[in-house]
Structure 1
Amino acid sequence: MDRIVITGYGLKAPGVGDKEEYRNVLEKGVCTQKVVSGLGPHDEDIVCGIISEEAIPLSDRKYRYYPRVARMAIAASDEAVAMARLSEDERRHAAIVMGTSVGGLKEIEAYALISGNRQYRKFPISGAGAGNSHSITSALSYHLGVKGQAFTLSTGCTAGVDAMLMGKLLLESGQCEACLVGGSDAPITIGSVYSFMRLGALSRGTDIARAGVPFSLSSEGFVVSEAAAVLVMELESHARRRGARIYGELTGIYSNNDGLSIFESDSTGRNMITAMSRAVGEIRPTFVNSQALGMQSNDQVEAITHRALFGSSVPITSIKGNIGHSFASIGNLQVISALLSIEYGFIPPTIKTDANGFEDLPIVSSVRYECVDHVAITTHGYGGNNTCLLLSKSRGSG
């Protein structure tokens, strides 16, 4: 069967506007999070991962009323298409699958204030678009001139990598030869912050060094951030035929669900172990790029999975201390991180952590330079989805 390869990617993340900036943040262990004033309960300041407006350079006025989450995705897609060197005709026949968790919640909250006061004539006509999560994918289709299949997934924080799973199925079934996949979320809103604060899942306080600490029993929760990431996936034969550069291969991917209440997740790790085992098969990854985000229940499942499948023989790291947790797009950012590791030969460090309670795990605490052939990635979403995947160096690479 024709292999599935990645020929381009683009991203917009906190403190990161392009590939080289992202590599610098990962390789040097830089934290890009900031203190945001008055966003927490009782107008408390909290640590978040924010994208500056300058990083979303859409000068065209026709996008002015698009929801932020769509504008972020458009900006990321421009980089992905340019890197992949997709022609106008190739874009026209491509498919798009995007994932999001909260969609246009940022605008919906703002519009709710207007509707709550029954100010009909002040209500923007863009309200319907902001309330439709599919506007993200529709916006990309319009912007890039894509006329093929267009789908939007909303499976929580795994949605971006679930989009990769669906893109793989579309490619393998002959629905398309190239597919743009990814995730976009702008969850830095009152609704998101209050919800996860009430659940005890979100980091409080203003000490950036102690906020959202992966693999530590001292961590009080994750750091919420916003980001968009888009990748171009193709059939290898299609990529080779048009002379595209291949950055990596999607060797395996598998998803399942905990099947529990929306307020629970499986603390035994059984389902995550199954997902990872099915994704990697018989391949031993060079390292694991983990979903660990500083939320103790999730990080414990990560540890259980790693102990069961790899023990101390495979290094493990998390990039959440750098950029925070950006919901549906974080899995795609982990994928791009893995592609950079494969291209430049390094394992990024897990910053902030003291490994309290996770001392037996082979956590990478400082950057390691070595040949990277395979990277396993874990993601878990609110709602119970577990999606794991394996990225590999292209078999045609040196």
Structure 2
Amino acid sequence: MEKRRVVITGMGAITPIGNTVEEFWNGVKEQKVGIGPITKFDTTDYKVKIAAEVKDFVAKERMDFKSAKRMEAFSQYAIVAATEAMEDAGLKMEEEDPYRVGVIIGSGIGGLSSMEKEHEKILTKGPKRVSPMLIPMMISNMAAGNVSIALGCKGKCTNVVTACATGTHSIGDAMRAIQYGDADVMFAGGTESSITPIAVAGFTNLTALSSAEDPMRASIPFDKDRSGFVIGEGAGVVILEELEHAKKRGARIYAELAGYGATSDAYHITSPAEDGSGAAKAMELAMEEAGVKPEEVDYVNAHGTGTHHNDLFETRAIRRAFGDAADHLKVSSTKSMIGHLLGAAGAVELITCVKSVEEGYIHPTVGTTEPGEECDLDYVIGGPVHQEVKTAISNSLGFGGHNATLLVKKYEE
């Protein structure tokens, strides 16, 4: 069976620098940093005191109030982002076969906040006081399930959980669903809301989080002074469509999703492979599927977390995948502005790639001033680059060795 072409026709986002795609992208172009003191809990006893929180998000203003009360924030973010994407795409469910419209929206962690609160109730008030809504609020598949219910999508509905690669794998798997005829339209992306005491403590004790107190020097991917990532939250959802379906309904096409690569390092539970081989292979597979040569890629939106190992090994991976062409690549990390959105990161970063293709704008790695040892690529330091972007790649690397790469191209007939 010949693979069907897949295009992106709608986008929605909730991020630490804006609660719509337009707000987020304006924030990116302003080099706005959405990092600040944690407000969700008392950090007195915590070494890490900053995060990239979503701000001014009031669920009842963006979705059904009664439904919102029965959901954790990660599900709320997903519904709001999906609704924005649907409106952006001009998609009308009453004109679609609902069994040909699916959802793959993942969350790396799910409703950790609910789990913490209800566990506290067991300890202080006994098991009978635990909320009957705990399970449906906590389990990570409920983002996809709630989007399906809210928007009437009756096709394939699943969620991917691959830690920090969740959003990217979700979009890649949704792309496959369309390519091979399982669906005509897919809502795809990732969502997360895990800035909680136990998450911050766990990541801190893993020595994964930056303990810097200056928000402008906390998330500094590839910098010689990088010391870890800044935990963030939010959601990104894109509407993927089979090309002919999109053309038939007169949809605006942002870009073509032309390549997807997925591999495993089979190496370590938290560290990427030191030689970058797994991540490199994911990039190579995405380029191969898209029929794109390394020298034809203009921009790589790096996973770029700001941990020592990730940035060094991802740099090696890019050099391995691109060879001599790596010297001409623009590489930057959106996490320098919005922190690490965990399961939502890849989806929001793909939206960044699509906007870069659309506008010919490559954002800098904000806050990074001097690359560290062996970090020898062009990380777009000091200011943005205005140039045509015909092809862009987005990388995501997750704990457990999960590697995922998506490739978007400027749409051509």
Fold in common (TM above 0.5): yes
Aligned pairs (5 A) from 1:317-336: 317-336=332-351
2:364 counterpart of 1:349: yes
**1:84 Cα shift?**
0.8
1:288 is aligned, of 300, 325, 328, to: 300
**Contact 2:4 2:178 survives alignment (8 Å):** no
More displaced, 225-234 or 260-269?
260-269
**1:149 Cα shift?**
1.4
2:397 counterpart of 1:390: no
Q: Distance in 1 between matches of 2:70 and 2:145?
A: 14
2:295 counterpart of 1:278: no
Partner of 2:89: 84
**1:135 Cα shift?**
1.3
More displaced, 64-73 or 357-366?
357-366
2:91 counterpart of 1:75: no
> What do residues 362-391 of structure 1 show as CA deviations (whole Å, max 9, x unaligned)?
121211111110001111001110101211
What secondary structure does 1:162 align onto? helix
2:169 counterpart of 1:167: no
**1:208 Cα shift?**
0.8
> What do residues 335-378 of structure 1 show as CA deviations (whole Å, max 9, x unaligned)?
10011111111111110112232563112121111111000111
Partner of 1:252: 259
Partner of 2:57: 54
What secondary structure does 1:153 align onto? coil
**1:203 Cα shift?**
0.8
Q: Distance in 1 between matches of 2:130 and 2:63?
A: 24
Partner of 1:363: 379
Count of matched residue pairs: 396
Partner of 1:110: 117
CA distance 1:298–1:343, shift in 2 (3 Å): same
Specify every segment of 5 or more residues in structure 1 that has no aligned partner in the other structure, as ranges: none
2:380 counterpart of 1:377: no
Q: Distance in 2 between matches of 1:32 and 1:265?
A: 27
Calculate the aligned-residue CA RMSD, in Å. 1.7
**1:204 Cα shift?**
1.0
Q: Distance in 2 between matches of 1:278 and 1:253?
A: 7
CA distance 1:24–1:183, shift in 2 (3 Å): same
Partner of 1:194: 201
> What do residues 60-98 of structure 1 show as CA deviations (whole Å, max 9, x unaligned)?
223212111101111111100001111123272301011
**1:20 Cα shift?**
1.8
Q: Distance in 2 between matches of 1:154 and 1:86?
A: 27
What secondary structure does 1:165 align onto? helix
**Contact 2:17 2:32 survives alignment (8 Å):** no
Q: Distance in 1 between matches of 2:240 and 2:339?
A: 26
> What do residues 84-129 of structure 1 show as CA deviations (whole Å, max 9, x unaligned)?
1111232723010111110111111111101223534432121121
**Contact 1:291 1:378 survives alignment (8 Å):** yes
Q: Distance in 2 between matches of 1:183 and 1:148?
A: 18
Partner letter of residue 84 of structure 1?
Answer: A
**Contact 2:70 2:137 survives alignment (8 Å):** no
Query: TM-score by structure 1 length?
Result: 0.95
Aligned pairs (5 A) from 1:33-52: 33-36=35-38, 40=43, 42-44=45-47, 46-52=49-55
Partner letter of residue 33 of structure 1?
Answer: I
1:266 is aligned, of 269, 273, 277, to: 273
CA distance 1:135–1:360, shift in 2 (3 Å): closer
Query: TM-score by structure 2 length?
Result: 0.92
Q: Distance in 1 between matches of 2:52 and 2:128?
A: 35
**Contact 1:213 1:294 survives alignment (8 Å):** yes
Q: Distance in 2 between matches of 1:221 and 1:45?
A: 11
Partner of 2:237: 230
**1:44 Cα shift?**
4.6
Q: Distance in 2 between matches of 1:79 and 1:338?
A: 18
Q: Distance in 1 between matches of 2:261 and 2:48?
A: 38
**Contact 1:12 1:55 survives alignment (8 Å):** no
2:319 is aligned, of 299, 307, 310, to: 307
CA distance 1:22–1:225, shift in 2 (3 Å): same
**Contact 1:40 1:194 survives alignment (8 Å):** no
2:14 is aligned, of 12, 15, 31, to: 12
What secondary structure does 2:356 align onto? helix
What secondary structure does 2:45 align onto? helix
Partner letter of residue 58 of structure 1?
Answer: M
What secondary structure does 2:225 align onto? coil
Specify every segment of 5 or more residues in structure 2 that has no aligned partner in the other structure, as ranges: none
